[in-house]
Structure 1
Amino acid sequence: MSWFPLAEAPVPEGGLFDFDATLPLMAIQVVVLTFILNKLFFQPVGKVVEEREGFVTTSHKDAKERLAQVQRLEQDLKAQLQQARQDAQAVIAAAEDEVATLYKSALAEAKASATRLREQARADMEAQRSAAAATLSKESRQLADLIIQRLVAI
């Protein structure tokens, strides 16, 4: 007895398509092969693909979150840098104002000191001139008296 009695049936000749027992047998083979391939290859490959897709999706989300965090940090750092620049400019302006104030006060002090020194020098010169004039006047009187005495003695 044969397993496939229909497969042993005589094949009629002619016609473009012969529909005999090989067609259902081939259909069953295709279904069984599809089922085996699905269980052995496609499901494990599908699981791996889904896992990788999940990993890629998760990694993509993490990368977007990290990028957003980096952008926030960059904005914060830019704001801090801008604030530091403004603070530095304020410190520089305050230092320039202080230097200008110190310069003006030092200049005023130097002018006052120069004026005092000039007045002191003028007073010293006036005193020396007065002393020299007094000495000259005294010496000129002595000389005049000496000349008069010599002229009268002649």
Structure 2
Amino acid sequence: MEYRGNSGKHRSIAMKLLLVVVFAAVMWWIMFSAPTKRNEKEGEMESPLAGGITEVDGVENDLYTVELARFSLDEHNKKTNAGLEFLRVVKVKRQVVAGTMHHLTIEAADAGKNKKLLEAKVWEKTWENFRSLQEIRQLH
């Protein structure tokens, strides 16, 4: 039997170091290389930083976005017996956290068909198959 020493241990340390370097490189790219846009109200430049909330245009009718909105209402209805019915997604924002926090403005109708505007926050970690409604509140 041949003695191989600590090669398995060194390989494990090398893999962890590689993951840290790749993560640092991705974070650097997100913070410094991502496109910026001008904030028209204040004349400042905005950059989509990790942890910052970024508005996402043109995905209101996207199947994934609609699925998140329906999930939000289903979870809310289970907890409160509200009986809200999904109508449409009005606005989408995203925040990079340990996963993604989706900030959704949703139009829904109650049992009397009265329209309500709600803001929902859904935390998602796709690599863990995790999705959780963090908050939902009525705007009007």
> Is TM > 0.5 for Structure 1 vs Structure 2?
no
TM-score range, shorter chain: under 0.3
- Pick the structure with more strand per residue: 2
Query: Structure with the greater relative contact order (CA < 8 A, sep ≥ 6): 1 or 2?
Result: 2
- Pick the structure with more helix per residue: 1
